[in-house]
Amino acid sequence: MNETNKKRISKFLSLVLRHQPEHIGLNLDKNGWAKVNELIEKSKTKHILFSFPELEAIVVTNDKQRFAFNADKTKIRANQGHSLMTIDLQLEAIQPPEFLYHGTVAKFIDSIRTTGLEKRSRQHVHLSEDRDTATKVGSRRGLPIILSIKSLEMHNKGHEFYRSENNVWLTDHVPVAFIEFQ
């Protein structure tokens, strides 16, 4: 499978596993898992064709590790980023490091200075453990601005943090008081 096909299928997987399973009539359980065989079959209705080995290659080689299989590889799900509010990823609250980072662009800074970082249509605000990852995230929309989040201080004041399987840190909201702007 060439890189263009991998990217096209990966974007399609993000659509149906994170946002619109109904696009192909896919059933997700309450924890976001879809049956692999059902995903492969129902993807054909949109002329997206791939085999299990090709799907496995996409999951394993995805640079952002967006997807995961269950232990016996009969089910697949997105690791985070769902706009479906009914998904329970079964993450346990844990203590974050002292600082986490968020990559954004200039057009969002005024809003962030007013309301902080909000999850909007997603289940959580996404944060990175390192500046490089936050820079890559922010670069998707233009010249990145990296915000430092006083995550340990937030945690100590009662805010919960979770870490997804692919090491993205998640929280419900980051109030302005905990954001260090460049």
Residue-wise pLDDT for 112-134, tens only, equals 999 999 988 778 899 999 999 99
CATH number for position 70? 1.10.10.970
Mean pLDDT, the chain, integer: 92
Write down the pLDDT at residue 79: 84
Quick one: 131 and 64 in the same domain? no
Dump pLDDT digits (tens) for 160-182: 999 988 889 999 999 999 999 97
Dump pLDDT digits (tens) for 77-87: 998 777 765 67
Quick one: 115 and 174 in the same domain? yes
Q: Which of 43, 78, 113 is the last residue of a domain?
A: 78
Q: Which domain holds residue 130?
A: 100-180
Quick one: 59 and 120 in the same domain? no
With respect to residue 152, please indicate whether it lies within any of the assigned structural domains.
yes
With respect to residue 147, please indicate whether it lies within any of the assigned structural domains.
yes
With respect to residue 90, please indicate whether it lies within any of the assigned structural domains.
no
Q: Looking at residues 132-153, what average pLDDT do you find?
A: 94
pLDDT at 64 over 80: no
CA separation for the pair 110, 140 (Å, rounded): 19
Write down the pLDDT at residue 122: 79
Residues sharing a CB contact under 8 Å with residue 113, sequence separation 6 or more, in sequence order = 176, 181
With respect to residue 8, please indicate whether it lies within any of the assigned structural domains.
yes
Q: How many domains does the chain have?
A: 2
CATH number for position 118? 3.20.170.30
Whether the model clears a pTM of 0.85, i.e. scores above it, the answer is no
Quick one: 108 and 67 in the same domain? no
pLDDT at 92 over 60: yes
With respect to residue 83, please indicate whether it lies within any of the assigned structural domains.
no
DSSP 27-77: ---TTS-EEHHHHHHHHGGGT----HHHHHHHHHH-TT--EEE-TTSSEEE
